[in-house]
């Protein structure tokens, strides 16, 4: 008989299945390690601890004592040994079968609840998004767009739902157990029944996880930690309506209804919900009938200065009359649209035409600004933020842009640029243009033109050194594509700054060099080798030929838009491996910056490894991050080191990653940085082995989490490998010192980078 104190873990998920326990007294909570919507199951006296995974090699559930628990242990290292246990205990079959049936029915009930939730939440969100449009029109206020609204799709499972007969079948079995049916004393029958029941139970569980992930995705549209959600849209509309002294009683009532939904079972993050509701209620008490972020006098002054902004920008750009007239015509049509983010065909046609004209004007404006030491403030608002019109931007937004436009800057010395600064660097010959959508850099593009006889050798050579041509290449190729991607509104994109896209306070979302460096350093404190790459260092005099690491931080370029997406556009410059990568973000980045950077760094790691490995990036005989991860993702179903439960989780993750292995890697990378670095188990042991080999944690982190059994083995393996590397390198250092020669700087740097 074993005794466990309150909150003591009896079995941890991932542990090998070597025994099970029958509860003699007390209650135990069984928890399946999955998403936020996964519920726990309570086991009581007579239930079996470990019943969920009978016949499996390891436990997928964790079991914790709710109070003082006594339990009878039964050793079971092989399922085929179960009949021998029956010989010693005639009642064992009854206990096992009853516990299995009761547990399975609990899991099935949980599945039915989730099924009900997914239907209710989808219908609620559809109705809420429609109602938001209605309220905006009734109040006569600009509507803001919901980021990631493409997630709002009807549930489409990737697997068959549980059979219709399951619940009734197991209810009948449960009734038979109450009658002490002798069948449940037969070891062979009970073994077969348990084997099939475990399979049914996990099928229900996996289907439930699919629904849970769906609920998590669409639930984030209702409320998320970045405040890019419907709750924010509604409350923002209410406060704007109060400021404009509109009748908003119906809107307040709708928000109260939304609060009830957030506090109910459809939304599972009560901590986040309570925090946001508290903030709303605090803001609600504030008087919104007057006071603005800028005084009325200053607003009126700015209104006068920015009146006719588009004409002022067109005058500066010296836009030809035909293009000028056409642009102003489409700009007015855009202003007249009641819903700037409408998906109607006519609205899309206006945005497309306006977008094309915008980029032409942007290029014209930039060419003049290049040689102008003090461009007008309205021009800098245009170049830095895509501002074009006071009415479209909204007066208070325009006032903020006016305030920061002249002083807004990056930190080129540390690789952070506004788009304006970045293109200037290209014009000055300090940076080369980015690749286009076809992954062609400027020189490759010119070579293609030469090969196709579109230019001759002399023209090719001249264009190679033409800085104006390089600027045009960047503005015509990288800029339009990346501007759209970082904005995030793929179907309704227009590069002009509009107040509908401002769903969070501009000041809080403006990206500055300090914010980027602070957040990046936080991530690099965990993934210190994120931007390492190796090269062959040769010193013939000292007889050194060694692959050494160099740390090359990427360039960050801030695009002139309000957006929620970041992108790793390229991992190196040109063909040189020891050059900075390029990462793009919106100047006003509304999403959580840390999460965005983690995804971008994960993308960068994958692409850099592919670049270095070349054609053999997925050849597992050439050990690398991409080859081993690709092999794992491709053949996980045949990998004996991966449990059945873990395989099902990989299937679910692959579906979320749209069957793209890089996307799956980036998701696992985020879990590695955000959770596993704190000792929280999120990955299976195979991915953990890969990540610990190629994306190691600093020594202090390794030491801290190695006490957790799930990490002990991989951390020990990494530490051993690091000691071997350092031992080899220090022998080379000793050789240099014995010859009276200074240690080469690349070698010293390499040792410092490894010994983190």
What the chain holds in terms of domains, given with CATH numbers, is 1-77 (2.60.120.10), 87-291 (no CATH), 296-501 (no CATH), 515-551+593-746 (no CATH)
Task: List, for residues 652-711, the tens digit of each pLDDT value.
Answer: 899 889 899 999 999 999 999 999 999 888 899 899 999 999 999 998 898 888 887 778
Most confident region among 256-260, 299-303, 544-548 by mean pLDDT: 256-260
What phi, psi does 538 have (nearest 5°)?
-125, 130
In this prediction, residues 19-23 reach a mean pLDDT of 92
Q: Is 418 helix (H, G, I), strand (E, B) or coil?
A: strand
- Do the beta carbons of residue 696 and residue 755 sit within 8 Å? no
pLDDT bin (cut points 50, 70, 90) of residue 290 is very low
pLDDT at position 294:
52
Angstrom distance (rounded) from CA 81 to CA 77: 8
pLDDT bin (cut points 50, 70, 90) of residue 748 is confident
Task: Answer yes or no: is pLDDT of 252 > 90.
Answer: yes
Task: Answer yes or no: is pLDDT of 234 > 90.
Answer: yes
pLDDT at position 292:
45
* Greatest Cα pair distance in the chain: 97
In this prediction, residues 26-50 reach a mean pLDDT of 81
Q: What is the pTM of this model?
A: 0.85
Percent of the chain with pLDDT over 90: 61
Q: What single DSSP character describes residue 58?
A: B
CB neighbour class for 739 (10 Å; exposed up to 12, middle 13-18, buried from 19): exposed
Q: What is the mean pLDDT of the chain?
A: 90
pLDDT at position 33:
64
Angstrom distance (rounded) from CA 612 to CA 578: 11
- Which segments of 37-81 does DSSP mark as H helices, in order? none
Task: List, for residues 600-656, the tens digit of each pLDDT value.
Answer: 999 999 999 999 999 999 999 999 999 999 999 999 999 988 888 788 889 889 988
Task: List, for residues 474-498, the tens digit of each pLDDT value.
Answer: 999 999 999 999 999 888 999 999 9
pLDDT at position 274:
94
Q: What single DSSP character describes residue 477?
A: I
In this prediction, residues 388-409 reach a mean pLDDT of 94
Q: Is 34 helix (H, G, I), strand (E, B) or coil?
A: coil
Angstrom distance (rounded) from CA 397 to CA 403: 10
pLDDT at position 291:
42
């Amino acid at each position: 008989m074993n005794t466990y104190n309150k909150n003591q873990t009896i079995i941890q998920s991932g542990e090998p299945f070597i025994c099970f326990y029958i509860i003699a007294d007390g209650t135990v909570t069984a928890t399946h390690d999955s998403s936020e919507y996964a519920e726990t199951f309570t086991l009581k006296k007579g239930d079996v601890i470990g019943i969920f995974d009978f016949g499996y090699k390891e436990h997928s559930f964790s079991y914790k004592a709710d109070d003082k628990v006594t339990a009878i242990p039964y050793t079971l290292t092989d399922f085929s040994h179960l009949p021998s246990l029956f010989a010693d205990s005639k009642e064992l079959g009854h206990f096992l079968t009853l516990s299995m049936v009761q547990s399975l029915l609990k899991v099935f009930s949980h599945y039915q609840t989730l099924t009900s939730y997914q239907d209710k939440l989808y219908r609620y969100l559809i109705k809420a998004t429609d109602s938001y449009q209605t309220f905006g029109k009734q109040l006569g206020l600009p509507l803001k767009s919901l980021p990631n609204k493409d997630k709002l799709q009807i549930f489409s499972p990737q697997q068959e739902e549980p059979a219709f007969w399951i619940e009734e079948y197991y209810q009948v079995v449960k009734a038979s157990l109450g009658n002490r049916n002798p069948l449940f004393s037969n070891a062979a029958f009970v073994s077969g029944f348990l084997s099939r029941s475990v399979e049914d139970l996990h099928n229900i569980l996996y289907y439930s996880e699919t629904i849970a992930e769906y609920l998590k995705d669409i639930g984030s549209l209702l409320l998320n930690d970045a405040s890019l959600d419907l709750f924010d849209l509604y409350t923002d509309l209410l406060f704007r309506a109060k400021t404009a002294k509109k009748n908003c009683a119906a809107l307040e009532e709708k928000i109260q209804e939304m609060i009830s939904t957030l506090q109910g079972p459809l939304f599972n993050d009560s901590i986040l919900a309570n925090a946001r509701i508290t903030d709303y209620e605090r803001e609600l008490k504030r008087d919104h009938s007057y006071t603005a972020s800028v005084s009325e006098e200053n607003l009126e002054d700015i209104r006068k200065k920015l009146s006719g902004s588009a004409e002022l920008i067109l005058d500066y750009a010296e836009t030809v009359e035909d293009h000028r007239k056409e642009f102003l015509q489409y700009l007015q049509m855009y202003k007249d649209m009641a819903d700037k983010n409408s998906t109607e065909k006519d609205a899309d046609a206006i945005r497309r035409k306006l977008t094309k004209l915008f980029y032409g004007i942007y290029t014209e404006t930039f060419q003049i600004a290049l040689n102008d030491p003090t461009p007008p403030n309205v021009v800098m608002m245009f170049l830095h933020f895509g501002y074009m019109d006071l009415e479209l931007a909204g007066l208070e937004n325009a006032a903020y842009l006016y305030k920061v436009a002249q002083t807004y800057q990056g930190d080129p010395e540390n690789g952070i640029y506004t788009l304006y600064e970045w293109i200037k660097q290209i014009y000055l010959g300090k940076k080369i243009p980015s690749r286009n959508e076809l992954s062609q850099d400027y020189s490759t593009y010119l070579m293609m033109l030469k090969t196709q006889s579109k230019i001759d050798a002399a023209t090719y050579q001249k264009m190679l050194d033409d800085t104006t041509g390089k600027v045009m290449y960047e503005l015509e190729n990288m800029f339009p594509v990346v501007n759209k991607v970082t904005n995030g509104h793929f179907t309704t994109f227009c590069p002009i700054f509009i107040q509908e896209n401002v769903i969070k306070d501009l000041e809080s979302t403006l990206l500055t060099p300090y914010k980027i460096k602070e957040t990046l350093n936080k991530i690099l404190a965990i993934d210190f080798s994120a931007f390492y790459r190796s090269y062959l260092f040769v010193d013939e005099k000292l007889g050194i030929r060694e692959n050494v690491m160099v740390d090359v931080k990427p360039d960050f370029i801030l695009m002139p838009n309000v957006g929620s997406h970041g992108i790793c556009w390229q991992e190196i410059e040109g063909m040189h491996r020891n050059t900075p990568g390029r990462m793009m973000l919106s100047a006003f980045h509304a999403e959580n910056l840390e999460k965005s950077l983690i995804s971008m760094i994960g993308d960068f790691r994958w692409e850099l490894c592919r670049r270095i490995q070349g054609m053999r990036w997925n050849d597992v005989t050439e050990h690398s991050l991409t080859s081993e991860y690709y092999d794992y993702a491709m053949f996980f179903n045949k990998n004996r080191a991966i449990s059945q439960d873990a395989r099902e989780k990989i299937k679910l993750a692959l579906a979320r990653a749209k069957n793209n292995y890089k996307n799956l890697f980036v998701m696992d990378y985020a879990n590695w940085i955000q959770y596993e670095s704190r000792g929280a188990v999120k990955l299976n042991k195979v991915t953990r082995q890969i990540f610990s080999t190629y994306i190691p944690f600093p020594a202090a982190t390794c030491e801290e989490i190695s006490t957790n059994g799930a990490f002990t083995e991989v951390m020990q393996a990494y530490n051993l490998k690091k000691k071997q590397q350092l031992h080899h390198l220090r022998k080379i250092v000793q050789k240099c010192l014995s010859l009276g020669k200074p240690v080469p700087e690349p070698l010293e740097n390499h040792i410092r980078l490894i010994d983190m």
